[in-house]
Structure 1
Amino acid sequence: MERTREEVLRELYNLIINKGTRDWERSVLTSTKDALEAGVNVNAQLAKLEEKFRPLALRDNLTGDVADFYLKITGESVEEARFDFSKHSIEDFNYQDYAIFGGGCFWCMVEPFETKSGIDSVLSGYTGGHTPHPSYDQVLGGFTGHVEAVEIIFDTRMISYKELVDLYWQLIDPTDGLGQFQDRGYQYRPIIFVRNEQQRQIAEESKQKVIDSGRYKQPIVTEIQPASTFWPAENHYQQFYKKDYKRYKRIKRYRQRFLLYQYLKGEIRMRWKKGKT
């Protein structure tokens, strides 16, 4: 649907003042705004803007809200994919609880949990650091102390916290404290964030079980920390596996291959040890 000059200008203003917008993106958006205010044809100006943003868009390297705006001007609807943040809340504290896990890029941490029975909501975000209201770029740059993580609301009548922790170990490389898979950096290290003593005990026992298994040659470095404020990521990064399934599938395939290789090495190591006893 074609938008009016006023509607486009309103969106441009919001993106320009958005703290998450990069300086270069802001300069392109400002030039577009100035041209529209000077009376330049809306469609012609948006076509020029699309051309400038295209190289970064093809590599999915635009900031979240700018990426959503790019989809709009290229005719792709993003309304159906908007995450309803208001629904990510506990309604019944008798039967619902939170779990928080950091395991590398949150793009690949959502689907494995969200598709399990008993999961009510999975939110991508940032936690464990010192900067309030961080943006994706700030966390990516390693300036905030936060890690990328997922916050899960689950129904305790259908799935237990222990089951979520058990699944978590299957999704990560617990020996890599400098990132996960192709994602490198402090902000991608694996951490289990516990909300109370019960969660801590379950997480500690589960971690010890992984250590005692002898499956890994390297030390288990996955941290267990108290949960702190969880800052939601921008809409563009919510349920990414649904929004850009082809790219997600490529990343997922890489992770699965690595984990399979690691699993097979662990099986060989455990059988070798068993044969020596």
Structure 2
Amino acid sequence: MSDLKLTTTEVITTLYNLILNKATRTWEREQLMTTKKALEQENDLAVESAKLEAVLRPLAVRHNLTPDVADFYAQLTNQPQESFDLSRFYQVDQPYEERAIFAGGCFWCMVEPFETRPGIIMVVSGYTGGTVVDPTYDQVATQTTGHVEAVEIIFDNRVVNYADLVAIFWQITDPTDAGGQINDRGQQYRPVIFVQNQKQRQIAEDSKERLIASKRYQKPIVTTIEAATTFWPAENYHQQFYKKNRQRYQRIENARRQYLALQHLRSKFRLVWQRLGRHFKK
């Protein structure tokens, strides 16, 4: 492990906050408390940090630490991840700015397809649609909060319009899967378009009707259109995951793309056969 670029006081403060963090798991909390007590007894920072890093490592390499503890582990190993700046998210939008909220499986795969488009100001991963205030990732994963993983997009409507974003959403999700998305199973992954106003609702509903009428899918379209409720930004670890953990993201995204590509190809073949069948019946 490289030399830790934090002071003892900074580490103790961080440990204290992580111990109080409701998202921290019991086992993690026990390890953090052990290190905190050792440092408060003026034990060597480098030695205690190395011990903590070693005990957390098995979970860290499997990406199984809770998000805030994972961020701290990155600091322990001198691979700090910059905190995601949410200040823009809380600012009042300009007259030419709008917001869109989409849920389509794991939010890790929902950011890049939108963020890389012209006119997109910000994409935030988070939770919405449920009843629990300021939920954590672990809480949402229990499927008891009513929340789904989603992204909230701030966009410049002079460059890109809401209908364009809805069209992208249909391309990157499976609208026939109400139990999740591809490999992401559970109600927290169900596909939803959350609308901010009547204009967005009309655009989304018209788009959905056109998709149904196209007969592109053999199964029913189950993506719901619901009124937007409070959107809770997810932990720092989850923000812009496609940039922070590029290799892991690419493995997940490649599997997702292959599934959707095969689904779209089957749909095209089915439509072609239907047209040919009608032609030969004439």
Q: Would you call these one fold, judging by a TM-score over 0.5? A: yes
Aligned equivalents of 2:252, 2:107: Cα separation in 1? 11
Q: Say whether 1:48 aligns with 2:51.
A: yes
Q: Which runs of 5+ in 1 are unaligned?
A: none
Residue aligning to 1:107: 108
CA deviations over 1:81-102 (Å, ceiling 9, x no partner)? x211001245554200000000
Residue aligning to 2:151: 150
Residue aligning to 2:10: 7
Residue aligning to 2:69: 66
Q: Say whether 1:20 aligns with 2:23.
A: yes
**SS of 2:216's equivalent?**
coil
Residue aligning to 1:163: 164
Aligned equivalents of 1:90, 1:265: Cα separation in 2? 44
CA deviations over 1:142-198 (Å, ceiling 9, x no partner)? 121000000000000000000000000001011110011111000000000001111
Residue aligning to 2:274: 273
Query: TM-score when scaled to structure 1?
Result: 0.97
Matches within 5 A, 1:121-270: 121-270=122-271
Residue aligning to 2:34: 31
Aligned length: 275
**SS of 2:23's equivalent?**
coil
- Cα distance, 1:48 vs. partner? 1.3
Task: Indicate conservation of the 8 Å contact 1:90/1:153, yes or no.
Answer: no
- Cα distance, 1:4 vs. partner? 2.0
Task: Indicate conservation of the 8 Å contact 2:5/2:78, yes or no.
Answer: no
Aligned equivalents of 1:199, 1:113: Cα separation in 2? 17
* Correspondence for 2:79 among 72, 76, 81: 76
Aligned equivalents of 2:51, 2:250: Cα separation in 1? 31
Identity among equivalent positions (%) equals 55
The alignment's C-alpha RMSD in Å is 1.1
**SS of 2:194's equivalent?**
strand
Change in CA separation of 1:171 and 1:88 when aligned onto 2, cut-off 3 Å: same
Aligned equivalents of 1:67, 1:9: Cα separation in 2? 16
Residue aligning to 1:118: 119
Aligned equivalents of 1:143, 1:135: Cα separation in 2? 12
CA deviations over 1:104-128 (Å, ceiling 9, x no partner)? 0000000000000000000100000
| AA at the equivalent of 2:29 | R
Aligned equivalents of 2:73, 2:88: Cα separation in 1? 26
Aligned equivalents of 2:18, 2:100: Cα separation in 1? 33
More displaced 10-residue stretch of structure 1: 52-61 or 124-133: 52-61
Task: Indicate conservation of the 8 Å contact 1:173/1:181, yes or no.
Answer: yes
